[in-house]
């Protein structure tokens, strides 16, 4: 099974989680690659018509993990636009995580995860695991939980 970790990250928090996950998967002998979503120019919470410099192709993976920051109480627009342009996620095993700065439940983590779920399901993909990582003092424990959880399901 080939696993693709497809990440959008502006300040490397989300990317660093992807790297830790990749290390763990590699220790376990899993075939795993990280690919980054790179939009063209600056992207703001209200951005529309986002174009991409780098657009990872999901076709070559059997399983996918999408990682994104929370922006403006929801999914970062670049990840939303990326997911929306994927033609199909039929027969893919999918997990997703988001990173965020604010500790409260109403500050976008669950909404961002729900957006990822909705878009993936509309493309025929099934989401089998999700996690929200708040970027505070307790993040290492949460990242450890995420890695343990995802390494069981993949
Ligand atoms: C434009 C912008 C909007 C943000 N909005 C939120 C938000 O609504 N809720 C939240 O918890 N964190 C918010 N954050 C914080 C980021 O989600 C957090 O720092 C995240 O870990 C950044 O991930 P990255 O380093 O992979 O880009 C925002 C950050 C930026 C730059």
**What is the three-class DSSP state of 104?**
coil
Domain made up of 2-153: CATH architecture: 3-Layer(aba) Sandwich (3.40)
Cβ–ligand 1 contact at 67 (below 6 Å): no
Atom 17 of ligand 1 has which residue's CA nearest to it?
A: 100
For 14-25, the pLDDT digits (tens) are 999 999 999 999
Can you give the pLDDT at residue 46? 81
List, for the chain, all residue ranges whose pLDDT scores fall below the cut of 70. Answer: none
Q: Is ligand 1 within 6 A of the CB of residue 52?
A: no
Burial classification of residue 33, based on how many CB atoms lie within 10 Å of its CB (0-12 exposed, 13-18 middle, 19 or more buried): middle
ipTM over 0.85: yes
């Amino acid at each position: 099974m080939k696993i693709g970790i497809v990440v959008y990250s502006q300040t490397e928090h989300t990317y660093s989680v992807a790297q830790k996950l990749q290390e763990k998967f590699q220790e376990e002998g899993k075939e795993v690659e990280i690919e980054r979503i790179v939009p063209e120019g600056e992207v703001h919470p209200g951005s529309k018509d986002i174009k991409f410099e780098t657009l990872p192709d999901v076709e070559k993976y059997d399983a996918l993990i999408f990682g994104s920051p929370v922006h403006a109480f929801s999914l970062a627009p670049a990840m939303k636009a990326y997911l929306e342009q994927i033609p199909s996620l039929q027969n893919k095993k999918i997990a997703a995580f988001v990173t965020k700065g604010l500790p409260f439940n109403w500050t976008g983590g669950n909404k961002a995860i729900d957006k990822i779920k909705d878009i993936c399901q509309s493309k025929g993909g099934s989401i089998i695991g999700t996690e929200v990582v708040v970027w505070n003092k307790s993040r290492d424990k949460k990242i450890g939980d995420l890695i343990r959880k995802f390494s069981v399901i993949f």
